[in-house]
A and B are shown apart, each in its own frame.
Chain A
Amino acid sequence: MTTETATAAAGSKAAGKGKRKYVVGTRRQLDAAELAATGLRDRWYPIYPSRFVGTGDMVKVKRLGVDWLLFRDATGQIRMLEDRCPHRSAPLSVGQHLGDRVACKYHGVQVDGQGTVVSVPGMPGCALEGRTVTASLAVAEGADTIFAFVPLTEDSEVTGFKLPDRLDNPEISWFSNYAEWISPWRYYMDNVLDPMHGAFLHRDSHSMFGGDTSARFRIRETDRGFFFEKTDQRGKNFDWVEFCRESMDYVDLEIPYAESAGPGGSFGIVGMSTPIDENTSAVFHWRTRTVSDWERDVWRFMYKATLEEKHWAVLEQDRELLEALAADADRGEHLYQHDLGVARIRRVHEADAQKQAAILLDGSA
């Protein structure tokens, strides 16, 4: 048997007339500040490298403050469920993988990849059977990565998934990189919208030793976001970044390689950060190069043999700096002209947070 309490607690439709809307996976409303801290919803996010979830694996991950279960079913399809049994909320991740479904360890309830209860072994015929009460997310895999659409409410409409252009072009070769930073996701965004740090923080690096240490910047609108770029230097350091808002928010940028990196010119970066919780982030980068034929093979060999470690050293400079920032580092700052990109991205995300909080308050929105 099942009760209304059990239904509401399972995160499905909130009962009652006002039709209060809860954030998927939280069983409550979040205000704008909480949404901004744990991650804006209604968009696709990279979740985890594909290689970490083999067929038959069950992996628990926290994203946007919610515990999720990733499992790859017997056909190789990745599934993502809230890591919470619809019965009495035991984590499904400690249960058993049964091919196309998982069985809860506590009382054996079986949930399939869509979050539907397919069996209640302790009470066959129970009304819980056949009900879809576990949150499941739309997922996509590409560029070596598992992506998911993280909805605001159960009424959210899933938008189409699209990889960033740079990762979906046969002329461009890439490698993915994954890291976990003990730093809020908003610091990641601020950092990548701030190219000027390249000439200082990364002065001692394989790629950002050149160019001026002063510059003037401008913002230039594009059809998918905006460029934040130096007006007086290009192709010498981290001189521009494009913030792109497609099915995901990401940054796209290029940085010159030293001659020692071989033929092929600059490398590109696609960067994204997914909140784990308000204090930690899953950081995804793809390092790309427009190379073909033997030049492509040479770059891929050199990347694996030596360049990847040099890229990593640069990323560690970012991580160490961001992890050292105080929790209120973005209060009481004194911004100057180089920080226009930072100010802009903060306004974009603040507006998103306000909008999403309003949807939760106003059930009809």
Chain B
Amino acid sequence: MLEQYLEANQSRVGPPHPYEQKLAGALTEIFASGTHELPAIITGLNNLGLNAPDGQPWDEARFRSEMRRLGE
């Protein structure tokens, strides 16, 4: 009998980093409210008390570069 290949996660290797999960959760919450514009997303992240990887508040440059890294 076929050993069935059924794998929910095929786009990433291993489980997500807790930091990535937290960031994705925050973005989901922001998007769900209908916020899809870049400045409003950044404000949303800062309002939720999340910092950029360097410990500073998010700004456009930090957000773009972190998304480029995570979304590669």
Name the residue in B21, B24, B25 with the highest tally of chain A Cβ atoms < 10 Å from its Cβ.
B24
Range class of the B interface residue count: 20 to 34
State which of A182, A260, A301, A312 has its C-beta within 8 Å of the C-beta of B70: A301
Contact (A180, B16) CB under 8 Å given A259-B32, A298-B71, A304-B11: no
Question: A289-318 CB contact bits vs B (8 Å, 1 = yes)?
Answer: 000001011111111111011001100100
Question: Smallest CB–CB gap between B30 and chain A, Å?
Answer: 9
Q: Does A200 contact B (CB under 8 A)?
A: no
- The answer to whether B4 and A309 touch across the interface, beta carbons within 8 angstroms, is no
- The answer to whether A302 and B28 touch across the interface, beta carbons within 8 angstroms, is yes
- The answer to whether B5 and A297 touch across the interface, beta carbons within 8 angstroms, is no
Question: Smallest CB–CB gap between A237 and chain B, Å?
Answer: 19
Name the residue in A49, A182, A300, A301 with the highest tally of chain B Cβ atoms < 10 Å from its Cβ.
A301
Q: Does A262 contact B (CB under 8 A)?
A: yes
A window 276-290: CB within 8 A of B: 276, 280
Question: Smallest CB–CB gap between B22 and chain A, Å?
Answer: 10
- The answer to whether B28 and A177 touch across the interface, beta carbons within 8 angstroms, is no
Q: Determine chain A's interface SS by DSSP, over half rule.
A: helix
Q: Compute how far the CA of A316 lies from the CA of B37 in the bound complex, rounded to whole angstroms.
A: 33
B window 5-43: CB within 8 A of A: 5-12, 16, 20-21, 23-25, 27-29, 31-34, 36-38
Q: Does A179 contact B (CB under 8 A)?
A: yes
B32 nearest in chain A by CB position: A260
Q: Compute how far the CA of A297 lies from the CA of B23 in the bound complex, rounded to whole angstroms.
A: 14
A window 245-294: CB within 8 A of B: 258-263, 276, 280, 294
Contact (A306, B72) CB under 8 Å given A178-B10, A297-B67, A312-B8: no
- What are the residues of chain A within 8 A of B2 when measuring CB–CB? 180, 182, 276, 280
Contact (A301, B11) CB under 8 Å given A178-B5, A179-B6: no
- What are the residues of chain A within 8 A of B7 when measuring CB–CB? 178-179
Chain B residues within 8 Å of A, Cβ to Cβ: 2, 4-12, 16, 20-21, 23-25, 27-29, 31-34, 36-38, 63-64, 67-68, 70-72
